[in-house]
Amino acid sequence: MDEAKQFLTKLIAQKTQRDPQFGPWVALRNLGILFERDLDISPANLIDNLSRNTLFIIQWPGLVNDGKLYFLDRGSRYFIDLSQISHITLL
């Protein structure tokens, strides 16, 4: 695991809370940094791997359309394919 992924994994672990009913959970926002090319991070893979045992609540400044989570708007080249990730979209 490279330094950026290691740092994010550690930071998310530090911010993770525990609920008696739902177990571990974490709320995240401002995830645009994950798309920074120099970090060499796959946002979908990172979220998928870290959310296997933790409930993720994500505030996302974008759009969900056709099973894709777009960053900012549907025309964005930055998106996460949600087809393999269990999720619920709240408006």
If one compares 75 and 6, the residue with the highest pLDDT of the two is 6
Indicate whether this model's pTM tops 0.75: no
* pLDDT, position 43: 79
Residue 70 falls inside a structural domain: yes
| Number of independent structural domains in the chain | 1
Residue 65: which of 86, 81, 42 has the closest Cα? 81
| Cα–Cα distance measured from residue 80 to residue 71, given in angstroms and rounded to the nearest whole number | 8
* Maximum Cα–Cα distance across the chain: 40
Per-residue pLDDT at 91 = 67
What would the pLDDT profile of 26-84 be if each residue is shown by its tens digit?
Answer: 998 877 777 788 888 887 788 778 788 899 888 877 788 888 888 777 777 777 888 87
Query: Has residue 17 been placed in a domain?
Result: yes
Q: 47: domain range?
A: 3-81
